[in-house]
Amino acid sequence: MSSHKRVSSSIGDLTLFYSGASSLSNFHLSQFESVSIDGSKKHFTCVEQYFKYNKALYFNDQKTAEEILAEENPMKMRAVGRTVKEFDEKKWDEIKEDVMKRGLLAKFKQNNEARKELFESVNSRCVFCAPSDPVWGIGLDITDDELIDDKKWKGQNKLGRILDEVREELWMKPEYAANKAILFKDYKMRDEIMNNAKDPWHVKACGRKVTNFDNDLWEEKSYEIMKTGVREKFQQNPEFLEELLKIGKTHRFAEASPTDRKWGIGIFLT
């Protein structure tokens, strides 16, 4: 299989992937930087390299860690990562999912095209169709007819589940304002919004032109998107947070927007 694909099933939509040709794969070459578990910031060529490098560091195998960092082939990175000295599976099990998630977050934050493709899997479950991996994958081939029934999966699909978490976490961030367009599969408008992200009035105008718009679905999603965006704004801007806290808990906020009866009060501020 050359990439990932989305299919419908009785358990909902599934986004299936396996080979390194898919941007969802850990073997997919996507340059990014991230802080490792030893506190050092390094450059990585794929998530597989990040994951195996941190595995070696965790068990104080610096030699193997450096070999992994020097490798260019993801398959060889995986092979070298299996030779870590003093490896303790129980200890690694305690942190490996957190390590994987940190690597995936860094990759998709820093790679626009990969992030777009991840966002296109919204309202579906990511499924890693690795027939020989019952932990990170489902233990079934991507061509297997049984993969559309999760009760017949032979693996835990941990990679797929973490990808779902990463997608939802990034989806809610305010800097990815194209979420509305992606939700309704208007990819032309998505690109228009992302290319003009520094102009909020243009972004707002584009948001009103999204095709295939479903008000009920947007009502379901929009509050959480707005809430997360507001929280991120104040967390990342101390001066704004200081102004907010000065107002005190006894006050109620009201946006005096005469033309907005949903987010505002529909009355002009005089």
Q: What is the mean pLDDT of residues 246-254?
A: 78
More confident residue, 55 or 204: 55
The predicted model scores a pTM of 0.71
First to last CA, the chain: 62
Average pLDDT of the chain, as a whole number? 87
DSSP-derived pairing of the beta strands 41-44 and 32-35: antiparallel
- Please tell me whether residue 191 adopts helix, strand or coil conformation: helix
Q: How confident is the model at residue 72 (pLDDT cuts 50, 70, 90)?
A: very high
Is residue 259's pLDDT more than 70?
Answer: no
Q: Does the CA dihedral 247-251-256-261 come out positive or negative?
A: positive
Q: Are 96 and 89 in contact (CB under 8 A)?
A: no
- Which pLDDT tens digit goes with each residue over 110-168? 998 899 899 889 889 999 999 999 999 999 999 999 999 999 999 999 999 999 999 98
Q: What's the pLDDT tens digit per position in 185-202?
A: 888 887 887 777 667 778
User: Quick one: pLDDT band at residue 2, thresholds 50, 70, 90?
Assistant: very low
Domains and CATH numbers, the chain: 5-172 (1.10.357.40), 182-236 (no CATH)
Q: How far is CA 114 from CA 22, 28, 73, 169, 259, in A?
A: 9, 10, 19, 15, 37
